[in-house]
Amino acid sequence: MQTVNKNFINEKKIEEDLAVNKNPESRRVKDILTKALSIETLEPDETAALLNVEDKNLWEEIFEVAGKIKKKVYDNRIVTFAPLYCSNLCVNSCLYCAFRKENTEGIRRRLSLEEVEKETEVLISFGHKRLIVVYGEHPLTNIDYISDTIKTIYKTKVGANKIRRVNVNAAPMSVEELKLLKQVGIGTYQVFQETYHRETYRKVHPKGLKSDYKRRLYALHKAMDAGIDDVGIGALFGLYDWRFEVMGLLEHSRELERSFGIGPHTISFPRLEPAMNTPFVQQAEHKVSDEDFKKLIAVLRLSVPYTGMILTAREPAHIRRKVLPLGCTQTDASSRIGIGAYSRKYNKQEAEKQQFLLGDTRTLDEVIREFASDGYITSFCTAGYRCGRTGKCIMQLLKTGEEGKFCKLNAVLTFREWLDDFASEQTKEAGEKVIKKEIEELKEQLPDTYPQFEKFYQRIKNGERDFYF
Ligand code: SF4
């Protein structure tokens, strides 16, 4: 499909929806919750009504339903990944980012391919199977560099272990460049709009390529045109009113579905965090409180039940634990966002020179132990895209509940691998309890597939790797 360069974010309509749905009646909110529980996508006025709820008890009901939807569609699985920052060179001037061109503090560079390999080795040795590679926007990190770094990551091995899926967070590209990106075998391609509010967008992106709102807004249309049907959207919460941004994200999602028959695979909702020599953040007027953060996550979960939701390590551990049950499906762990930071000794001074400050710097082992103690299974599954279950296909499988079956089987197989290869004794103990319960459920829920699963499981226990459905 050829991209039409209109602006599908109708600010007036969003503002009207938010204004006319103020103080929704309790009966109406309950009806919307019933609809959401039947795993139906909400209409903009319904989302606007939820965003406008003021009654504390109703919010508690919303949180509860969000948790139920998460359980229904994704069960107790959490997918983990790690970011790999390949470069902090950038031609843009985003006021909230320490990598902006004007910031002269800190060393600016890109990783060599040897360094990419070293960083990847460290991440593999933690047990990661899935990365998101991150690049600023700069001629030195063009499509050739991006492709070379991704190829290097896929080639890197530590014993029998390797990275099985590389997702990409990079600047908008041309369709020709995106076709090259598809060829190297990426998972999800993410471009975050940061803010959907045009006036705010103009203020916080005063110069550089990123100052073009529409170029960014249509970046994922171009990806779809190039055949990349697995894309991720996101907003940086704190730049403008959080309710408006939720509506913007949903409009973006609806537009992709309208134009291509596929919504985004994931939604990210990072909050603005302090960054080195970046005074804008201290003065930001729209910072999102912890309570509002919970609300926005729950409303997103209710509005688009089939979309993966990514909670990042920007958030401190106690917040992550609180909001995870509201519908998050993926999170990063053991993250370092300095350039070359995995293969160097981590120190606080260096951490302050990163793009922003991380709230949760626990190891993958510690994070997984907490998940397991809370009853979650960590999934390292990367089967979906390797079996061609992406785009329309995955949406259909999610809607019919089929994908959930694959996911449950693959979660157990990959968690078994991770426990045997990487877990500390303490984590293993917590993980075994989760696995035991999952296997009981598999026996009961999938009697036909169970025998094949059992064969794969035993072979993994005997040291073989990488079986999946
Ligand atoms: S947010 Fe991205 S585009 Fe903007 S300055 Fe930072 S690295 Fe560059």
Cα 97 to middle of ligand 1, angstroms: 6
Instruction: Read off the tokens for 152.
Output: 């290097």
Q: What is the per-residue pLDDT for 77?
A: 95
Q: Whose CA is nearest to atom 5 of ligand 1?
A: 100
Nearest to 81 by CA among 117, 129, 121, 126: 129
Cα 136 to middle of ligand 1, angstroms: 6
For ligand 1, what atom is nearest to the CA of residue 98? 6
Cα 159 to middle of ligand 1, angstroms: 36
Strand partners, 82: 131
**Does residue 100 line the site of ligand 1, with CB under 6 A?**
yes
- Which residues in 434-452 are b (16+ Cβ under 10 Å) and which e? bbeebbeebeeebeeebee
Q: What is the dihedral of CA 55, 58, 59, 65, to 10 degrees?
A: -170
How many CB atoms are located within 10 Å of the residue 362 CB?
16
Mutation test residue for ligand 1: of 85, 97, 138, 190, the one with most atoms within 8 Å of CB: 97
CA distance 222 to 238: 27
Q: What is the per-residue pLDDT for 1?
A: 52
Q: 3-class DSSP state for residue 363? A: coil
Instruction: DSSP for 314-355, please give it.
Output: TS-HHHHHHHGGGT--EEE-S---STT-SSS---HHHHTTSS
pLDDT tens track, the chain, 469 positions: 545 567 899 999 999 999 999 999 999 999 999 999 999 999 999 999 999 999 999 999 999 999 999 999 999 999 999 999 999 999 999 999 999 999 988 889 999 999 999 999 999 999 999 999 999 999 999 999 999 999 999 999 999 999 999 999 999 999 999 999 999 999 999 999 999 999 999 999 999 999 999 999 999 999 999 999 999 999 999 999 999 999 999 999 999 999 999 999 999 999 998 888 888 998 999 999 999 999 999 999 999 999 999 999 999 999 999 999 999 999 999 999 889 999 876 555 555 566 677 889 999 999 999 999 999 999 998 887 676 666 666 666 666 666 667 889 999 999 999 999 999 999 999 999 999 999 999 999 999 999 999 999 999 999 999 888 8
How many CB atoms are located within 10 Å of the residue 463 CB?
10
- Which residues in 285-302 are b (16+ Cβ under 10 Å) and which e? ebebeeeebbbbbbbbbb
Cα 450 to middle of ligand 1, angstroms: 47
Q: What is the per-residue pLDDT for 4?
A: 53
**Does residue 99 line the site of ligand 1, with CB under 6 A?**
yes
Q: What is the per-residue pLDDT for 469?
A: 87
CA distance 95 to 98: 8
**Does residue 97 line the site of ligand 1, with CB under 6 A?**
yes
Q: How far is CA 2 from the centre of its chain?
A: 27
Mutation test residue for ligand 1: of 88, 89, 93, 100, the one with most atoms within 8 Å of CB: 100
CA distance 186 to 301: 26
Radius of gyration of the chain, Cα coordinates, nearest whole angstrom: 21
For ligand 1, what atom is nearest to the CA of residue 101? 5
Cα 377 to middle of ligand 1, angstroms: 34
CA distance 130 to 305: 23
Cα 395 to middle of ligand 1, angstroms: 31
**Does residue 192 line the site of ligand 1, with CB under 6 A?**
no
Whole-prediction pTM: 0.94
Q: Which residues contact 316 (CB under 8 A, 6 or more apart)?
A: 359, 360
Q: Whose CA is nearest to atom 4 of ligand 1?
A: 94
Instruction: Read off the tokens for 440.
Output: 């009981």
**Does residue 137 line the site of ligand 1, with CB under 6 A?**
yes
For ligand 1, what atom is nearest to the CA of residue 208? 3
Q: Whose CA is nearest to atom 2 of ligand 1?
A: 136
**Does residue 191 line the site of ligand 1, with CB under 6 A?**
no
Instruction: Read off the tokens for 229.
Output: 């049907």
Cα 154 to middle of ligand 1, angstroms: 25
> DSSP state, 106?
S
Mutation test residue for ligand 1: of 88, 210, 213, 353, the one with most atoms within 8 Å of CB: 210
CA distance 368 to 266: 21
For ligand 1, what atom is nearest to the CA of residue 194? 1
HSE at residue 181, side-chain half, CA atoms within 13 A, is 34
